[in-house]
Amino acid sequence: MKKITFLILFVLPYYLVAQSGTSVQLPWSQRMAASIMTTNADSIAYPNKMARWEYETGVLLQSLELVWYRTGDVRYFKYIQQNMDRFVRDDGTIRTYDLDHFNIDYVTPGRSLLMLYQQTLPNKEKYKKAADLLRQQLAKQPRTNEGGFWHKKIYPNQMWLDGLYMAEPFYAEYTRLFDRDGKGFTDIINQFVWMEQHARDSKTGLLYHGWDESRQQKWADPKTGKSPNFWSRSIGWYVMALVDVLDYIPADHPRRGELVAILQRLMPAVVKYQDPKEGCWYQVTDRGGDKNNYLEASGTAMFVYGLAKGVRLGYLPASMMSYAKKGYAGMLKNFISTDDAGLIHLEKTVSVSGLGGEPYRDGSYEYYLREPIRKDDLKGVGPFIMASVEMETAEELGIGKGKTVGVDTYFNHEFRKGTDPNQPEPFHYTWDDRQHSGFWLWGRTFRDLGAKTVLVPTAPTAASLKGVDVYIIVDPDTPKETAKPNYVNPADSKAIGDWVKAGGVLVLMANDTSNCEHTHFNQLAATFGLQFLPKNVNMVKGDQFEQGSVIIPAGNPIFTHTKEVYIKELSPLDVKAPAKSVVSAGDNVIMAVARVGNGTVFAVGDPWLYNEYTDGRKIPARYENFQAGKDLATWLLTQVK
């Protein structure tokens, strides 16, 4: 029965009806997510196998996390949490997990634990405790003489390319969150450096699948310890690990550039072996056209993901995007099938390839071609979804390219207890705050549109606003929130007014009268013909969400893909020239816009786009706050002169 429910929930939305009434096909990332969530509705497992704590689950859930960030659809979040809760007990122990196996594959699902711990959730400490357990494994994991992680306890003295993805992204994010000294970053960078040093082939520039420090394995070259062949998925794991770990290594870390340099060495070598006709990569990377070799889905997906993300974040030159596009088109042509129910499937993923073990895997060319191919193998599905998200994002990067969006943390300057008990952390409408109080999702939307997001922590001046294209001021503090609030003063208003006239785009977000300092904020607003009124509307009682409904009329110039949003307890606006209402409810002006000089001002009486009301977890799905946030972000960026 549950599978039927998921089928209804996910297959029917393959074609959405836009405001114009036309049908729009969902992106491939969402279609593949729908398929896998339908066929694995209760738990993630292959037919006739029990669900257990392992890396394939982690890879799939990581891909669904990216789709959640791109859509705000709570079904993805719930699916992730449901699958973590199958294993994580209230005391943080993990069902089916055994630390003493020292299997580095077990670390991969830890990324979902870290995501859940950063949300506003009851009993979330269990996710932190479970993540601590995985971090303990890494602390005790056997290592090579120089410090490289063994792939598994049963594979002594061996580093495999696969292991870099299995452990390092989790290790890097954990370090960013909880290890204030940051020493773990050096260890993480070393893992990549040592792996490249020991596995790189100087002739092709590719990386061999594994390296045996002891040179005792039959598959290992007696002089170098390298395995004998290049396996595309293993190189793909390493590539994905590189671009994901860089999300967490601090920009000012003295060795960050080493990881970027490795990526820049590796990807030109990888693209040389892209099939010129089909755009995909072969199971054995460098032997395209040889007997029995075949185009393989998971390695191709990983290379597309690494290329597209590397270009988006500036690690790789823009010219590399042509290989990602060709590879993605090749995937859709060669690997995607559709069944009678409308579900799509990923074909031609090799189920497994390893080294040593029982029966013994010798790493020969013939070995890699003997392993079975599996339909909808999670090691292909997860990377396909990730690659799809990157390719879908790439289509919109031009909207904000070269533009910077700054959120004020001077007028709104609140702190709470952080992960370090001795160091309070800033929160409330900041880009980094992933709890319900933050702008994390809206910030990601801006970045996915190609913009850069920054904080503006000082008073507005020509100098502090230099280089900022969109400036967002949210809910200025009262003494109730901050002991010594920074009130807007005439000098601030003049600096902001001059900046707007010169072409800046200003966003003013107030709050209801009991939670926002209106008096001084209104002195700034008056500069643009705006006033936040001393009354509250859309007062919502309990879960009577309809009391917070705001209808967006068809043809609205800002919210072009949004019909209805939820905004509660807001201050309506009084407007006069040059300001004009753009959204109203009865006699109340909800949102307004003013054109001043070369610039633009947008105003609304509530900070309604924070995570609590965009992540899909609090309000019913009929309210399109996430989409409205994207519409508004797009509009703001297009106003920049």
Residue 240: predicted pLDDT: 99
Report cis status (omega within 30 of 0) of the bond before 578. yes
Give the whole-angstrom CA distance, residue 66 versus residue 44.
18
Q: Mean pLDDT, the chain, as a whole number?
A: 95
**Pick from 318, 163, 299: which is nearest to 230 by CA?**
299
Burial class, 27, CB count within 10 angstroms (exposed 0-12 / middle 13-18 / buried 19+): middle
23 located within any domain: no
| Structure token digits, residue 123 | 């009993």
- pLDDT surpassing 70 at residue 476: yes
Q: Do 535 and 509 share a structural domain?
A: yes
Q: What is the mean pLDDT of residues 517-543?
A: 96
Q: What is the mean pLDDT of residues 439-458?
A: 98
Residue 8: predicted pLDDT: 43
220 located within any domain: yes
Give the whole-angstrom CA distance, residue 518 versus residue 532.
7
What pTM did the predictor assign?
Answer: 0.96
Q: Do 35 and 158 share a structural domain?
A: yes
**Pick from 105, 102, 103, 127: which is nearest to 116 by CA?**
127
Distances (CA, A) of 406 to 118, 194, 460, 464: 23, 39, 11, 10
**Is 162 assigned a catalytic role?**
yes
Q: What is the mean pLDDT of residues 419-442?
A: 91
Please name every residue paired with 361 in a beta bridge, in sequence order, or none if there are none: 356
CB 454 within 8 A of CB 468: yes
Please give the DSSP secondary-structure letter assigned to residue 88. B
Which pLDDT band holds residue 422 (cuts at 50, 70, 90)? confident
- Return the number of other C-beta atoms located less than 10 Å from residue 214's C-beta: 12
Q: What is the mean pLDDT of residues 620-634?
A: 98
Residue 418: predicted pLDDT: 79
Higher-confidence position of 364 and 417: 364
- pLDDT surpassing 50 at residue 17: no
| Structure token digits, residue 297 | 């889905």
Range of the domain at 246: 28-395
- pLDDT surpassing 80 at residue 329: yes
- The CATH number linked to 536 is 3.40.50.880
Please name every residue paired with 550 in a beta bridge, in sequence order, or none if there are none: 565
Domain boundary among 374, 395, 416: 395
- pLDDT surpassing 60 at residue 416: yes
Q: Phi first, then psi: what are they for 555, rounded to 5°?
A: 85, 5
137 alpha-carbon distance from chain centroid:
25
Q: Do 499 and 377 share a structural domain?
A: no
91 located within any domain: yes
Which pLDDT band holds residue 641 (cuts at 50, 70, 90)? confident
Q: Do 371 and 485 share a structural domain?
A: no
- Return the number of other C-beta atoms located less than 10 Å from residue 85's C-beta: 14
Distances (CA, A) of 173 to 135, 176, 404, 463: 11, 5, 25, 33
Which pLDDT band holds residue 562 (cuts at 50, 70, 90)? very high
SS3 426: strand
Least-confidence region, from 21-35, 184-198, 392-406: 21-35
- pLDDT surpassing 60 at residue 15: no
Residue 19: predicted pLDDT: 38
Give the whole-angstrom CA distance, residue 542 versus residue 40.
35
Q: Do 224 and 104 share a structural domain?
A: yes
11 located within any domain: no
Q: Do 372 and 419 share a structural domain?
A: no
- The CATH number linked to 328 is 1.50.10.10
Q: What is the mean pLDDT of residues 103-123?
A: 98
Report cis status (omega within 30 of 0) of the bond before 359. yes
- pLDDT surpassing 70 at residue 536: yes
Which pLDDT band holds residue 297 (cuts at 50, 70, 90)? very high
Give the whole-angstrom CA distance, residue 339 versus residue 343.
6
Length of the chain: 641
Give the whole-angstrom CA distance, residue 538 versus residue 399.
33
Q: Do 375 and 413 share a structural domain?
A: no
- pLDDT surpassing 60 at residue 548: yes
Buried b (16+ CB within 10 A) or exposed e, 323-348: bbebbbebbeebbbeeeeeebbbbeb
| 362-367-370 Cα angle (round to 5) | 150
Q: Do 181 and 61 share a structural domain?
A: yes
- pLDDT surpassing 70 at residue 113: yes
Higher-confidence position of 342 and 422: 342
AA identity, residue 251: A
15 located within any domain: no
Residue 314: predicted pLDDT: 98
Give, for 407, the enclosing helix (H) or strand (E). strand 404-408
Domain boundary among 395, 423, 444: 395
Which pLDDT band holds residue 10 (cuts at 50, 70, 90)? low
| Structure token digits, residue 311 | 């270009």
Give the whole-angstrom CA distance, residue 445 versus residue 448.
5
Total tally of structural domains belonging to the chain: 2
Give the whole-angstrom CA distance, residue 455 versus residue 478.
20
CB 441 within 8 A of CB 629: yes
Please give the DSSP secondary-structure letter assigned to residue 547. G
- Beta-carbon contacts of residue 113 (< 8 Å; ≥ 6 apart): 84, 88, 127, 128, 130, 131, 134
Q: Do 447 and 559 share a structural domain?
A: yes
pLDDT in tens, 184-220: 999 999 999 999 999 999 999 999 999 999 999 999 9
Q: Do 561 and 435 share a structural domain?
A: yes
Residue 21: predicted pLDDT: 45
Domain boundary among 395, 422, 439: 395
CB 565 within 8 A of CB 546: no
Choose the catalytic residue: 105, 162, 469, 631.
162
Give, for 573, the enclosing helix (H) or strand (E). strand 573-575
pLDDT in tens, 83-99: 999 999 999 999 999 99
Q: Phi first, then psi: what are they for 535, rounded to 5°?
A: -145, 160
- pLDDT surpassing 70 at residue 20: no
| 346-350-355 Cα angle (round to 5) | 155
pLDDT in tens, 503-516: 999 999 999 988 89
Q: Do 165 and 147 share a structural domain?
A: yes
18 located within any domain: no
Q: Do 383 and 483 share a structural domain?
A: no
pLDDT in tens, 306-326: 999 999 999 999 999 999 999
Give the whole-angstrom CA distance, residue 296 versus residue 302.
11
146 located within any domain: yes
46 located within any domain: yes
